[in-house]
């Protein structure tokens, strides 16, 4: 009786050991399958990255300023002298005008003077007087993009800009994509820095 009981215990232990070995092999096989799946996923991702280098948009457009604003004059001051005129380019810190108290209004950055809305010389400056300027440091290009490819573009995406007249290549980045289309086209804005003699109105070729 006692001998038979011991045999049963030995058999049970033997079966437990076999079961544990089978479970270990099964888990090892699952981990290998996971590793293979992970590798395949990486391979797919790499394939997707390699296709992103294809040109989605290629277009010619005029270069514009990325920043246009009105500079307000100091209300209650009187105008003594004006040093600039419309369509003139000025550099940061250049004098734009002088008040009768000896103070100056200077250019906040390199810019083009678009419009002068000023009082008469020795006249009092008012709140509705201003000088309209456009930055020549920050430039942009606006292009129309078909609805067929608009979903392939995103904010921050890099773009190549070629200015043939200056034999110059620049790198820009998408800063805005219109939310609605007009005649099946969306407006995409690409901005870039002007570190050369690029002028507003020049023609450039853009590739995204």
Q: What is the CA radius of gyration of the chain?
A: 35
DSSP assigned state of 120: P
pTM: 0.69
- The torsion of the CA quartet 196, 197, 199, 202, rounded to 10 degrees, works out to -80
Q: Could you tell me the fold of the domain covering 58-64+137-207?
A: Elongation Factor Tu (Ef-tu); domain 3 (2.40.30)
Q: Tell me the β-bridge partners of 70.
A: 132
Spell out the domain ranges in the chain. 1-53, 58-64+137-207, 68-135
Does the domain spanning 68-135 belong to CATH 2.40.50.100? yes
pLDDT(17) > 60: yes
Q: 20-63: per-residue pLDDT in tens?
A: 767 666 555 544 443 333 323 333 233 333 334 689 999 999 99
∠ CA 89-204-176, nearest 5°, is 85
Lowest mean pLDDT among 13-22, 37-46, 171-180, 198-207: 37-46
Tokens 């608009």, residue located: 150
Whole-number Cα distances in Å, 197 to 45, 58, 89, 159, 185:
41, 23, 12, 20, 31
């Amino acid at each position: 009786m006692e001998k038979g009981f011991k045999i049963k215990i030995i058999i049970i232990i033997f079966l437990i050991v076999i079961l544990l070995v089978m479970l270990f092999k099964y888990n090892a096989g699952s981990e290998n399958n996971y590793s293979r799946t992970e590798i395949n996923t990486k391979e797919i991702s790499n394939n997707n990255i390699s296709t992103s280098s294809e040109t989605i948009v290629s277009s010619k457009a005029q270069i514009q300023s990325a920043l246009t604003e009105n500079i307000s004059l100091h209300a209650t001051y009187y105008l003594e002298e004006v040093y600039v005129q419309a369509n003139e380019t000025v550099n940061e810190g250049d004098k734009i005008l002088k008040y009768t108290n000896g103070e100056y209004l200077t250019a906040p950055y390199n810019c083009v003077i678009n419009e002068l809305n000023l009082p008469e010389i020795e006249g009092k400056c008012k709140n509705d007087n201003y000088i309209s300027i456009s930055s020549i440091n920050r430039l942009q290009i606006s292009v129309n993009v078909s609805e067929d490819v608009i979903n392939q573009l995103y904010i921050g995406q890099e773009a190549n800009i070629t200015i043939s007249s200056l034999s110059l290549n620049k790198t820009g980045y998408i800063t805005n994509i219109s939310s609605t289309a007009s005649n099946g086209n969306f407006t995409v804005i690409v901005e870039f820095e002007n570190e050369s003699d690029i002028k507003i109105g020049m023609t450039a070729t853009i590739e995204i």
